Amino acid sequence: MTFPLDHWRDPRATIATRYQKSDIDYITHGGLVAMEVVRGLQIPPDRAGRMTLLDFGCGTGRISRILAGYFGKVIAYDPVQECIEVGKKECSVPIPNIEYCTQLPDVKFDAVVAINVFEHLEHKEQIVAMESILGVINPKAPIMLWYNVMHNRDVLSAYFGVDFIKEDDAQIAKNGSYFINVRIFAR
Q: Which domains does the chain have, with CATH numbers?
A: 5-186 (3.40.50.150)
Quick check: 40 and 33 in contact, CB under 8 A? no
One-letter amino acid at 19 equals Y
Better-scored residue on pLDDT, 35 or 23 = 35
Quick check: 2 and 126 in contact, CB under 8 A? no
From the list 51, 104, 49, the residue with the least C-alpha distance to 76 is: 104
Work out the average pLDDT over 38-44.
93
Cβ-Cβ contacts under 8 Å for 178 (sequence gap 6 or more)? 149, 150, 172
Q: How far apart are CA 100 and CA 63, in angstroms?
A: 12
Residue 111: CB atoms within 10 A of its CB come to 24
Say if residue 179's pLDDT is above 70.
no
Q: How far apart are CA 75 and CA 53, in angstroms?
A: 6
Where residue 12 falls among pLDDT bands split at 50, 70, 90? low
One-letter amino acid at 1 equals M
What's residue 177's pLDDT? 61
Where residue 157 falls among pLDDT bands split at 50, 70, 90? confident
Where residue 159 falls among pLDDT bands split at 50, 70, 90? confident
Q: What is the torsion angle, in degrees rounded to the nearest 10, for the CA atoms of residue 130, residue 133, residue 139 and residue 143?
A: -80
